[in-house]
Structure 1
Amino acid sequence: MHLRRTLNRRNGGIGVTAGRATGGTRISTRVLYRRSMEAPWAWIAAVIIPILLLAPAIWNGYPLLQHDTGGYLARWYESHLEISRSNAYGIYLHLGQGSYFWINLACQALLTLWILHLTLRVLNMAQPLRLLTIALILIAATALPWLASMLLTDIFAGLAVLTLYILVAHNGKLSIAERISLFLFTSFAAASHTATFGVLLGLCCAGWIVKPLLGPRLQTGGLIQGSLTIVTGAAMLLAANFTLTGQLTWTPGGAAVSFGRMMQDGIVARYLNDHCDKIKLKLCPYRDQLPATADDFLWGNDSIFDKLGRFEGMNGEMEFIATHALVAYPLWQAEAAVEATAEQLVSVDTGEGNTGWIPHTYGIIERYLPEQVKTMRDARQQHWNMKFTAINWIHVPVALASMLLLAAIALAALWRRRLDDVDLLAVTVTVALLGNAFICGVLSGPHDRYGARMVWVATFVVLIAAARFLAHRHDPPYGRRDKNFSTPSL
């Protein structure tokens, strides 16, 4: 080995080359200076980002609650399955309840920081100042901090899309510990909610379908590992259900939520009018009294659903009507599915369900966690001090613009038939958003919460694309290093 100093005019300074006569590694003073400046920014980012992600909960004085939170909290204490309430997530909440759930929130914030950084790292863009800048924009302009501060599965939906992408497309850039950690997180996210499971399953299926077109761009090993997260997630969910209830079965809810969506589209009323003279159903006497929305039917006070025995008394009939109505009115169902998907895509307001009126969740905390009642009641959310109108003046335009820009990036990449790493991420997230809109809109009906929990990922990808553009434009050496982004044509 030998050292020799050379004038590195291209990099604007003195460079030091260490290597053999046949070649070596050049470390310019600019690079050394850049690395010395990155260290403090790395510490600043590691401290500031998690704190700001939890700023809503810190301001509130207690983790943010939502209508569905109580159903998850109760899973540890109630030995039965509840519609659309994952026992796997219920166990996760129980593990942190001794800390008043601040351990859960800290876990969610640190996972978010790690996954944001890891995404930038596999794209060769992981500079601390860049990470901090992107994170600050996401915290200010998207629902991300509200998701991280809430006791709900929603934070895992968007993060899991990123981790699945990393596992599949960049498996070779990960250490063994990182692969295991990403695998376990993605599996748990799939087990935490049926919609998340469906989105991840759809992405894996799409990956296998397009693999012949992308060739080496999607490695078989990565796709196998990504697909195995779905299998493991299913096993986690079944194991959690068996552990808490003694039943080795899937979490119920598919037929009920589909029935609710069909009811608010008018399909259930039509089916009852067409078939009640031939088939004796519990709902027949009430066919002219059905409420306008699924939420009113399933969760309203003194509803028809309550009178007929709720899920215990209606599960079989709801499944029967949903299945037969799908066959009876295929064109209507298709039209309703397209409308619901389109409506779900633009339903992205932050804060749905984070009001002061969540009596079921309050009741669950009072019943099973009485020591936390005072702290929970003293929180700002429970005093109706949480308003989202002004916040959504920013969040909604940013979300809609991000989806348009994301679609433009994805379509441009497909048009030129050449995908680099950022383009592949853009296509992945676009498919995930469409899949989420279809699954949630068609099965459950459009809700702002379902859109807000995913659309921040579109903003993240747009910011990555913008950072890459600026890096190529203003820092040619960085641009040259990014040539490994280029991939074979489709």
Structure 2
Amino acid sequence: MKRVLYSKFLMGDQLKDIGAIFLAAIMLCFWSIYNGYPLFFSSDTAMYLEAAFAKHVGPDRPILYGLFMYYISGQYSLWFVVIVQSLILSYSFYCWFRYFLPGENYLLFFLLYSAFVSIFMGASFNVSWLMPDVFTPLSVLSIGLIIFAPRLPRHVWVFLIGLSILGIAMHNSHLFVCLGLTLLLLAGYAFKSVREIYNLVGIKFSRIAIVIGLIITSAFFAASISYQYGGGFKSSRGGTVFLMGSLVEMGVVDIYLGENCSQKDYRICEYRDTIPNNFLWASNSPIYQTGGWAGSEAEYSAIVNDILTTPKYLKLVVWKSILRTISQFMHFDTGEATKATPRIDQGFRRFYPNEYDNYYKARQNQGELNFKLVNHTQVVIFLSCILLYALIYYKNGMSLKFRFLILFLLIALLINAWVCGTFSGVYFRYQARLLWLIPMPVFLFLATKIRIRSTEQPKQT
């Protein structure tokens, strides 16, 4: 009888947890529900769909997110993509609160945090967006759990391993962000004082090794998918061209070409005086005059290699990289959801004709979305968290483990700013995709303090 009652009690708890996960997922869909349809980005969403439906890798991005949309939507409704993204993120949030918090109040703070970042920050926007950006925080959250969570059930391990491999492979930048985070943690083992802190926090070398293994596996997975769909055995495509575009924006390419075009027969030299700052996407860019992304890659590789191996150019790149990292770190407005371009309009008409009317009538396509309030609140929240965390480190106001979680998330933001600002460009969406992880340690800390106070209250007789 006792065993039956205990089983019912456990089942009741499980149903409560499942209900909370679904409720958080609904909150994370706020912007798509308000919009009346999933959000899209410029022509990029169409480019992912075009590659997936054509079953061929494009020259400038991995095909994996396109395939994700293709199969999850069932080629019927892109709402399924948003729903799945919201459930994955909701469960990831749940795991952070479930396995980093002792006691029974993890559900309350899990729901409070989900509502907070959905309404006042950009979490719901990233979930509702048909872009791989939501997999950036998902990758960070998954490796954070693997490294820091003390005990994880088998089903959570399966989820985290699958999510890590899939999430890191979704976008070119994810591998470098996650690898940078992990290598920094690994480098700490070179210092005795840091090793002692690791022991106190509970960081194990075996967990870091697992994450490195997952990153390598993800790179091979991405390369295999690319190979299968005609893109060659490469984990990413267009990396050299993206870096070339970044060096153009830095002004380094202009200096380099001015000093070397008289000696080297580069095709781009013909366009040296008319290279647009928007090098990657401008219609008059030399890229599209000299063979496109694939046709220009060999020449740009030679130029990039020469710049990075010549000390005077390398110093300039390093300095510009520092400036762009700082700039990217502070650029995090959300809401890059403008009216449809002809390419995205054609894509929805062609691939999802049954949803075309819903897409066309959505608030985004009518220019009725406004993200000013969210962007104002994000600035206030970000600055408040930075000041709060500085005070916490100064006063030792949190446990060592919580301070390490804060440091982990801040370093993730910093590495993301460096990777994107240096190798692609300073764009709001790159930093906005991670910013809403910043307040999570606050909610974890408050949940812990409230539990401690409640257990310290004397029982009334």
Identify the residue that residue 70 of structure 2 maps to in structure 1: 94
Match 1:60 to one of 24, 32, 35: 35
CA deviations 1:249-284 (Å, max 9, x no partner) are: 232121111111111111111111111110111121
Mapped to 2, the partners of 1:394 and 1:131 lie a distance apart of 20
Deviations 1:50-104 (A, max 9, x none): 1121121112222110132122212223354324422222221111223412222
Question: Is the 2:182–2:212 Cα contact (8 Å) retained in structure 1?
Answer: yes
User: Relative to structure 1, is the Cα distance of residues 411 and 450 closer, same or farther in structure 2, using a 3 angstrom cutoff?
Assistant: farther
The answer to whether the aligner puts 1:182 opposite 2:165 as a matched pair is no
Match of 2:23 in 1: 48
TM superposition shift of 1:182 = 0.7
Instruction: String of CA shifts for 1:124-180, please: whole Å, max 9, x gaps.
Output: 25532222222221112210000111111111111221211111222x511111111
- Aligned-partner SS, 1:277: coil
Q: For residues 470 and 232 of structure 1, do their structure 2 counterparts lie closer, same or farther at Cα, with a shift above 3 Å needed? A: same
Partner of 1:230: 215
Cα gap change, 1:244 to 1:412, in 2 (>3 Å): farther
- Work out the CA distance in 1 between the residues paired with 2:152 and 2:326: 37
Structure 1 residues 274 and 411, CA gap change in structure 2 (3 angstroms): farther
Aligned to 1:117: 94
- Residue equivalent to 2:329: 345
- Determine if the alignment matches structure 1 residue 377 to structure 2 residue 360: yes
Counterpart position of 2:309: 327
Ranked by relative contact order (alpha carbons within 8 Å, sequence separation 6 or more), the top structure is: 2
Number of positions where the alignment pairs a residue of Structure 1 with one of Structure 2: 435
Match of 2:5 in 1: none
Q: Which residue of 1 aligns with 2:140?
A: 161
Name the residue aligned to 1:447: 427
Q: Which residue of 1 aligns with 2:185?
A: 207
Cα distance change on mapping 1:319 and 1:153 into 2, 3 Å: same
Amino acid at match of 2:172: T
Matched, 1:300 2:282: yes
Mapped to 2, the partners of 1:148 and 1:436 lie a distance apart of 19
Identity of aligned residues (%): 24
1:75 paired to 2:64: no
Structure 1 distance, partners of 2:390, 2:167, is 25
Alignment partner, residue 300 of structure 2: 318
Aligned partner (choices 415, 421, 428) of residue 408 of structure 2: 428
Matched, 1:281 2:266: yes
Q: Distance in 2 between matches of 1:307 and 1:49?
A: 49
CA separation of 1:63/1:398 partners in 2, compared to 1, >3 Å: closer, same or farther? same
Residues 176-210 of structure 1 deviation map (CA, whole Å, 9 limit, x = unaligned):
11111111101111100121111111122122222
- In the superposition, relative to structure 1, how do residues 313 and 46 fare at CA in structure 2: closer, same or farther (>3 Å)? closer
- Aligned-pair distance for 1:437? 0.7
Q: Residues 408 and 301 (structure 1 numbering): CA distance in 2 closer, same or farther, change over 3 Å?
A: farther
How many Å separate the matches in 2 of 1:312 and 1:213? Answer: 49
Determine if the alignment matches structure 1 residue 138 to structure 2 residue 81.
no
Deviations 1:311-369 (A, max 9, x none): 133222222222212233122111101001000100010113x1114443333333444
**Letter aligned with residue 157 of structure 2:** R
Q: Matches of residues 351-430 of structure 1 in structure 2 within 5 Å?
A: 351-352=335-336, 354-406=337-389, 409=392, 420-430=400-410
Measured in 2, the distance between the counterparts of 1:412 and 1:266 equals 43
| More off after superposition, 396-405 vs 323-332 | 396-405
The structure having more radius of gyration, on CA atoms, is 1
The match for 1:16 is none
**Unmatched segments (≥5 aa) in structure 2:** 1-9, 190-194
Q: Alpha carbons of 1:215 and 1:56: their partners in 2 closer, same or farther (altered >3 Å)?
A: closer
State the alpha-carbon separation in 1 of the partners of residues 303 and 223 from structure 2: 27
Cα distance change on mapping 1:323 and 1:377 into 2, 3 Å = same
Residues 2-41 of structure 1: pairs in structure 2 closer than 5 A: none
Matched, 1:437 2:417: yes
Q: 1:411 to 1:225 in 2, by over 3 A?
A: farther
Q: Is the 8 A contact 1:350 1:449 kept in 2?
A: yes
* Alpha-carbon distance between aligned partners in 1 of 2:154 and 2:210, rounded to the nearest angstrom: 13
Q: Are the equivalent residues in 2 in contact too, given 1:200–1:230 (CA < 8 A)? A: yes
Higher strand share: 1
Deviation larger for 58-67 or 146-155: 58-67
The one-character-per-residue Cα deviations of 1:194-241 (angstroms, maximum 9, x if unpaired) are: 211111111221222224344532223322222221022112211211
2:3 — aligned with what? none
Distance in 2 (alpha carbons) for counterparts of 1:54 and 1:468: 28
Matched, 1:261 2:246: yes
CA shift, 1:306, in A, is 2.3
Q: TM-score, normalised by structure 2?
A: 0.87
Secondary structure of the corresponding residue to residue 355 of structure 1: coil
**AA matched with 1:195:** S
The question of whether the paired residues in 2 share the 8 Å contact of 1:84 and 1:194 is answered with: no
Asked if the contact 1:38/1:129 (under 8 Å) is kept, the reply is no
Closer/same/farther in 2, CA of residues 410 and 440 from structure 1, 3 Å limit = farther
